[in-house]
Amino acid sequence: MDKKYGVYICTGCGIGDTLDMEDLVYVPDEEGINCTTHPFLCSKEGVALIQKDVDDEKVNAMVIGACSRRVNFDVFNFEGCIVERANLREGVVWPHSREKYPKLEKDQKDDEEHFDPIQMKAEDYIKMGMIRVEKVKLPEPYKTESFSRKILVLGGGVTGMSSALDAAKAGYDVTIVEKTDKLGGYAANMRSQMPVCEPFETLRPSIADDLIAEVESFSNIDIKTTTEVARIAGQPGEFLVTLKTPGEKIAFDVPFPLPEEMLVDENGKDLTAEDAHAKFLEYNEGREDILKRDPDGELYGAVILAAGWRPDVLEGEKYEHLGIDLDDVVTNDEFEKIAAKGKIVRPSDGKEAKNVVFIQSPGKDEDDADFEYTGSVTSQVALKQAKYVRDDYQDGKAYIIYQHMRTPGLQEYFYKSMQQEDGIFMTKGAVTEVAPQGNGLSVTATNTLLGENLAIKADMVVVAGGMVPVTKDDPVINLAYRQGPGFRDNDIFGQYADSNYICFPYETQRTGIYAAGAVRRAMTIEESMEDATGAALKAIQCIESSNKGISVHPRSGDMTFPDFFFQRCTQCKRCTVECPFGALDDDEKGTPMANPTRCRRCGTCMGACPERIISFADYTIDSIGSQVKAIGVPSEDDYDEPPFRFLALICENDAFPALDMVGMNRMDYSPNVRFIPIRCLGSFNVIWVKDALAQGMDGVILIGCKHGDDYQCHFIKGSELAETRIKKIGDALSSLALEKERVAFTEIAIDEYDKLPEIVNAFADEVEALGPNPFKGF
Amino acid sequence: MTTDNLAPVSGSLMVVGGGISGLTTALEAAEMGYEVFLVEKEASLGGRVSQLKHYFPKLCPPTCGLEINYRRIKDNKNIKVFTMSEVQNVDGSAGDYTVTVKTAPRYVNENCTACGECAKVCDTEISNEFNFGMDRRKAAYLPHNMAFPMRYIMDPAMSTDDRDKIKDVCKYEAIDFDMEEKTLDLKVGAIVWNTGWTPYDATKIDNLGFGRYQNVVTNMMLERMASSNGPTAGKILRPSDDKEPETIAFAQCAGSRDENHLHYCSYICCMASLKHATYLRAQYPDAKIYIYYIDLRTPGLKYENFYAKLKEDENIFFVKGKVAEVSEEEGSGNLNLVAEDTISGEKIRQTVDMLILATGMQPNTAIDKPNVELNYNEDGFIINDFSKGGMFAAGCANKPADVVTSNQNATGMALKAIHTLVRRG
């Protein structure tokens, strides 16, 4: 586009009272750029004034010097124009008052003693805005070469069928892939199930049969049983899927990364890259590389992972006291199978089991946790199975020994209703021993509600084993991604394919693939069905967003995507490795191949690239670097004691709003810091530090989200990566005789705005104590 | 049964309630291309979670996710937000509703720049309900510093004198005391009720002393005390004398799982109290914390891990038993508790500085039912009828739930609502 620049400065909200407008307007004027001021720029008249300039084709790239870009976003929105907001209000005049920084007298303006730190900051922000609109482009959406709206559902259980139905009802074609020879999953083999709706009181027949019938009645649902995924290649909107019969070995089975123990030689030393690659090829012999396209593959737009769970295997010393090896001590899963066949009988001799003890927690008296992978499901299953005992035998007795009865929410009514049942006894307690006694078993428990020591004679004992997500054993989705076939970081969720975000439960590190049901948390049927609907929505949404060339959450609607200048690529692979979403696949040479619809536009690749060849239309190394270079750095040539200059690169998602709040609360901090919001600290490129220090700035601080297992970074590891990068640069500074304290990293949560001034000031003080940057003025 | 080729995306839906679940339903539908009217009765979106310092178990601030959601609204022209608004009436049937929305006067128009000059000159003060009345605020106020939309509101209690001063001081002609209630009819195909919850009224729990003794506070009040934008700027102090508490007790199931109050389990209070223990611990390394419970409902890996971490704290004591009686020690403001240890059967008598009531959640529809034909259970939660379609409840209007579950439910409910539109599209 042929850019026509303009600057508009609002003098309202204290901006005009605090700043010297004449001097401020001079900044664009000097560059020959028209600058208009208005006392109330966000008013109808103010906006009309800008719109008129747009309509008259006088301007299409503008800087609006007014409030923070977080407010009046809809007001300063001009179709087809590049708009940059210079934050004069929350960023300059609100935090820094004239009481603290008095206006200069006329005669002080040109001497070498006085300067006006607030005015300097405002002028810098206008300059930084001007250079940014010069450097960026209007984005144009990415279009995939092929496109499919079909949805692939992995798993034909209750969750998978529910997802399929919900997507089909919205008009989408769905394929259900089920490993076994029939639909229904675990629920199809149960005797009864817990209530899924009001009144939450009685057992009901399994819902699986109803769902199977409904699924089969939909012509836009294709069912493939005895099938699994060999690989999913490509990207949202055009996933290229190879299916196969379970157990079959085919060329398009996805190659797996080498297990860790194979990455070292016999002496325990790390293999060289070449050796590791050779071993990788050997390990995956007969399997095509991830970039090889399956000519017979089928296109899908998005994937729902509803592969479910398997019963936990309870073995070993941990469960020895529960008599886990005895014939008549069974898991809840084994008990369900017995119950599904008919009356409850003992495995050892087929005799009627009328006295059954249900054990919910294995920790003796030392630990009150439930079995692993249980959630609140096993408490409810015990109630259900206790009812089976009562249904089968008039004189049947069921005892549930729990540490904490877990029937949250309205499931409490199910608990209450079971409490009314004669012959179901429940107590808190710690089971210390299960042992054979006569023709049966004896169960001993302590600290129960029925007395200190409880001994029960039982025909059978049922232990409440958990629901292990199948992703613990197998990635299932088998992605042909360079980063590997499964979801990343499942280890922090105990191998569940869960989201790290409380607000955004469908957020995964693999765009276009949404997990639902027991694969992400132990869930009841009721919860799984709800979850299935949500996943179906996210799958559809991702397909439609990919079709429009826009990003999905959290930068929903973003039309930009990474662009590579390949001539300068050194095949270092950092972008491929660091991308939180596995969006890049490199070829055998190591040249990255972008999959733009997998991309979530965080810019981590741009930050990682040492050659700086990655950019987005409106966000580039040069656009930020030029902003840094636009910052005025006064030296001793200008003033006797020139003010220090600091650069703060801050996360626009959390730290920037916190900074706005600092302004709103009129909290002061060093006015010598210039803040540049960036997409994510993951997009921080070390060149910006060099840019800042080379032009004489005294220090650089990065402010981003908290990292660690409970990371708050919206792009997984952005702040963590930035910290690593800046630590490295700190070391490099020492070799230039610059103190490494001149660069710093800090974590802040959005609500910790009250700490921000302190953090900024402490950094400024520390650097000021070191003295000015020796390169200043060169 | 079959659905013909993809119906073009068209149609509108309404989401009632702009808390975290309403935001979720609205945004997920809007990002699929549907037009969404989001109706919120308060002056700002964000709902109940905007009053929380942290979410459990991550201990991350809800404002982080809200900020992202607000940005999604800013970037999406499909969403139209109506604050200070309620549904007055719904006519028509699934696929074709006419909803009458009533908007209360804010006395501030779109000109407001949130500069704050009005609050500076305003002398009238009102009780700050965002902080459960624990402090007062100016009658010209921003709901809170993360409010969305970022616009002031004038409380009708404001004095005439203040009104004149404010009209004078506002440079942007944003103040309009002649503003009146407005109604508007909107056509939508489906409605999702994300009307959320209210903390159970603790004054109804006679034996626990709330309202009689200052140092008995609710869990939601503690949440405000711990928040940096709360009444004590984040410092938890005991209300009677601003003393730093040394012993704190939590009474779980305060009003939940109780035949005289809420019969169901409120889902979140166990984890909430454990989270509150972390707030207290961060400020008072030596404080003794007693948690009286019936069952600790901390299911699943993430919650069990959180509980396990707290169990390692030697000064946090978990007592299986219900607090039965509370009385105030004369002069000191300390509280004498009587509880029964259900394991030992012994009566426990204990004196504490503060008692936190883990009050549960009551659906807003139990207290104030909208003028619409909806099915409720006996507790006031809305029962969904998917075969009927048209109107659905999501989040805590449907059942007690934590934020994760609410948002799963709220995401799915957007699709259920869309089914109604597609069917008729």
Asked if B374 and B382 count as a contact pair (C-beta separation under 8 A), the reply is yes
Tell me how far apart the alpha carbons of residues B283 and A492 are, in angstroms, rounded to a whole number: 28
The answer for residues whose C-beta is within 8 angstroms of residue A218's C-beta and 6 or more apart is A164, A165, A168, B1, B2, B3
Q: Are residues A101 and A163 in the same domain?
A: no
Q: Are residues A606 and A588 in the same domain?
A: yes
The answer for residues whose C-beta is within 8 angstroms of residue A23's C-beta and 6 or more apart is A119, A123
Residue at which a domain ends, from A497, A520, A548: A548
Q: A234-263 burial, b if ≥16 CB within 10 A, otherwise e?
A: bbbbbbbbbbbeeeeeeebbbbebbeeeee
Provide, rounded to the nearest whole percent, the portion of chain A with pLDDT above 90: 91
Burial of B125 (C-beta count, 10 Å sphere; 0-12/13-18/19+): middle
Asked if B380 and B181 count as a contact pair (C-beta separation under 8 A), the reply is no
Contacts of B257 in chain A (CB under 8 A): 412
Q: Are residues A274 and A297 in the same domain?
A: no
Domain B12-104+181-197+362-424 has CATH 3.50.50.60: yes
The answer for residues whose C-beta is within 8 angstroms of residue B54's C-beta and 6 or more apart is B60, B61, B62, B275, B278, B279
Are β-strands A430-437 and A440-448 bridged in parallel, bridged antiparallel, or unpaired? Answer: antiparallel
Tell me if chain B has a CB within 8 Å of the CB of A554.
yes
Compute φ and ψ for A100, nearest 5 degrees: -85, -40
The answer for residues whose C-beta is within 8 angstroms of residue B149's C-beta and 6 or more apart is B44, B45, B81, B83
pLDDT number for residue B1: 36
Asked if A383 and A400 count as a contact pair (C-beta separation under 8 A), the reply is yes
- At A314, the pLDDT band (50, 70, 90 cuts) reads very high
pLDDT number for residue B5: 40
Q: Is residue A104 part of a domain?
A: yes
CA distance, residue A211 to nearest chain B CA (Å)? 13
Q: Are residues A732 and A756 in the same domain?
A: yes
Average pLDDT of the residues in A124-136? 98
Contact B150 A71 (CB under 8 A): yes
Extract the tokens encoding A210: 């109803």
Tell me if chain A has a CB within 8 Å of the CB of B2.
yes
Are β-strands A228-235 and A221-224 bridged in parallel, bridged antiparallel, or unpaired? Answer: unpaired
Extract the tokens encoding B297: 């409902």
Tell me if chain A has a CB within 8 Å of the CB of B119.
no
CATH of the domain at A14: 3.40.50
Question: Residue B366 half-sphere exposure, CB side, CA atoms within 13 Å?
Answer: 21
Tens digit of each residue's pLDDT (9 = 90 or more) over A535-545 = 999 999 999 99
Among candidates B33, B265, B384 on the partner chain, residue whose Cβ is nearest the Cβ of A407: B265
Extract the tokens encoding B394: 């999501």
CATH of the domain at A571: 3.30.70.20
Locus of tokens 């509108």: B12
Q: CATH code for B201-359?
A: 3.50.50.60
pLDDT number for residue A272: 87
Q: What residue ranges of chain B are covered by domains with CATH 3.50.50.60?
A: 12-104+181-197+362-424, 201-359
Residue at which a domain ends, from A84, A117, A140: A140
Extract the tokens encoding B330: 């004369």
Q: Are residues A299 and A166 in the same domain?
A: yes
Tell me which chain A residue has its CA closest to the CA of residue B150.
Answer: A71
Q: Is residue A555 part of a domain?
A: no
Tell me if chain A has a CB within 8 Å of the CB of B257.
yes
pLDDT number for residue B3: 37
CA distance, residue A581 to nearest chain B CA (Å)? 19
Q: A18-49 burial, b if ≥16 CB within 10 A, otherwise e?
A: bbbbeebbebbeeeebbbbbbebbbbeebbee
Asked if A604 and A715 count as a contact pair (C-beta separation under 8 A), the reply is yes
DSSP reduced 3-state for A54 = helix
Compute φ and ψ for B117, nearest 5 degrees: -65, -30
Tell me if chain B has a CB within 8 Å of the CB of A172.
yes
Q: Which residues of A3-139 form beta strands (DSSP E)?
A: 5-10, 35-38, 61-66, 82-87
Tens digit of each residue's pLDDT (9 = 90 or more) over A15-62 = 999 999 999 999 999 999 999 999 999 999 999 999 999 999 999 999
Q: Are residues A238 and A167 in the same domain?
A: yes
CA distance, residue B100 to nearest chain A CA (Å)? 26
DSSP secondary structure letters along B90-158: EEEETTEEEEEEEE---SB-TT-----HHHHH---EEE-GGGTTSSEEESEE-S-TT-SS---EE-TT-
For residue A451, pLDDT over 80 is answered with no
Domain count, chain A: 6
Tell me which chain A residue has its CA closest to the CA of residue B148.
Answer: A71
Mark which residues 161-180 of B lie under 8 Å from A by CB: 171-172
DSSP reduced 3-state for B264 = coil
DSSP reduced 3-state for A761 = helix
Of residues A77, A34, A91, A38, the one with CA closest to residue A58: A34
Q: Are residues A508 and A642 in the same domain?
A: no
Tell me if chain B has a CB within 8 Å of the CB of A709.
no
Q: Are residues A513 and A400 in the same domain?
A: no
Q: Are residues A295 and A283 in the same domain?
A: no
Contact A12 B62 (CB under 8 A): no
Q: What is the DSSP letter of A116?
A: -
Tens digit of each residue's pLDDT (9 = 90 or more) over A52-93 = 999 999 999 999 999 999 999 889 999 999 999 999 999 999
Q: Are residues A540 and A604 in the same domain?
A: no
Q: Are residues A604 and A528 in the same domain?
A: no
* CA A733, A735, A738, A744 torsion-angle sign: positive
Residue at which a domain ends, from A615, A639, A659: A615
Among candidates B3, B342, B411 on the partner chain, residue whose Cβ is nearest the Cβ of A506: B411
Higher pLDDT, B388 or A162: A162
Which amino acid, A246?
Answer: P
Locus of tokens 């103010």: A46
pLDDT number for residue B9: 61
Extract the tokens encoding B97: 């509703």
Q: Is residue A205 part of a domain?
A: yes
Compute φ and ψ for A235, nearest 5 degrees: -150, 165
Question: Residue B129 half-sphere exposure, CB side, CA atoms within 13 Å?
Answer: 9
Q: Which domain holds residue A71?
A: 1-140
Of residues A206, A163, A213, the one with CA closest to residue A183: A213
Among candidates A170, A214, A657 on the partner chain, residue whose Cβ is nearest the Cβ of B415: A170
Of residues A81, A308, A352, the one with CA closest to residue A189: A308
Q: List, in sequence order, every residue forming a beta bridge with A154; answer none if it has no partner.
A: A177, A305
Extract the tokens encoding A558: 């973003």
The answer for residues whose C-beta is within 8 angstroms of residue A110's C-beta and 6 or more apart is none
pLDDT number for residue B6: 46
Are β-strands A82-87 and A151-154 bridged in parallel, bridged antiparallel, or unpaired? Answer: unpaired
Residues of chain B with pLDDT under 70: 1-9, 423-425
Candidates A502, A514, A526, partner chain B, best to mutate (most B CBs within 10 A): A502
Q: What is the DSSP letter of A488?
A: S
The answer for residues whose C-beta is within 8 angstroms of residue A516's C-beta and 6 or more apart is A159, A163, A304, A305, A306, A528, A531, A532, A534, A535
Q: Is residue A553 part of a domain?
A: no
Contacts of A372 in chain B (CB under 8 A): 301
How much is the CA Rg of chain B, to the nearest whole Å?
Answer: 23
Number of Cβ pairs < 8 A linking chain A and chain B: 248
**How far out from the chain centre does Cα B33 lie?**
28
Q: Is residue A363 part of a domain?
A: yes
DSSP secondary structure letters along A625-692: HHHHHHS----TTT-SSPPP-EEEEEETTTHHHHHHHHHHTT----TTEEEEEES-GGG--THHHHHH
Of residues B124, B148, B147, the one with CA closest to residue B137: B124
pLDDT number for residue B424: 53
Q: Is residue A556 part of a domain?
A: no
Element of type H or E holding B165: helix B160-169
Burial of A317 (C-beta count, 10 Å sphere; 0-12/13-18/19+): exposed
Q: Are residues A113 and A3 in the same domain?
A: yes
Angle at A490 between CA A359 and CA A379, to 5 degrees: 20
Q: Is residue A581 part of a domain?
A: yes
Tens digit of each residue's pLDDT (9 = 90 or more) over A355-388 = 999 999 999 989 999 999 999 999 999 999 999 9
CA distance, residue A163 to nearest chain B CA (Å)? 10
Tell me which chain A residue has its CA closest to the CA of residue B23.
Answer: A503
A447, A530, A620, B379 from A140: Cα distances, Å: 68, 36, 15, 52
With a threshold of 0.90, does the pTM exceed it? Answer: yes
Contacts of A527 in chain B (CB under 8 A): 405, 408
Tell me how far apart the alpha carbons of residues A274 and A265 are, in angstroms, rounded to a whole number: 13
Mark which residues 746-765 of A lie under 8 Å from B by CB: 749-754
Which of A151-165, A271-285, A726-740, B342-356 is predicted least confidently?
A726-740
Tens digit of each residue's pLDDT (9 = 90 or more) over A172-212 = 999 999 999 999 999 999 999 998 888 888 899 999 999 99
Tens digit of each residue's pLDDT (9 = 90 or more) over A747-777 = 999 999 999 999 999 999 999 999 999 988 7
Q: Is residue A558 part of a domain?
A: no
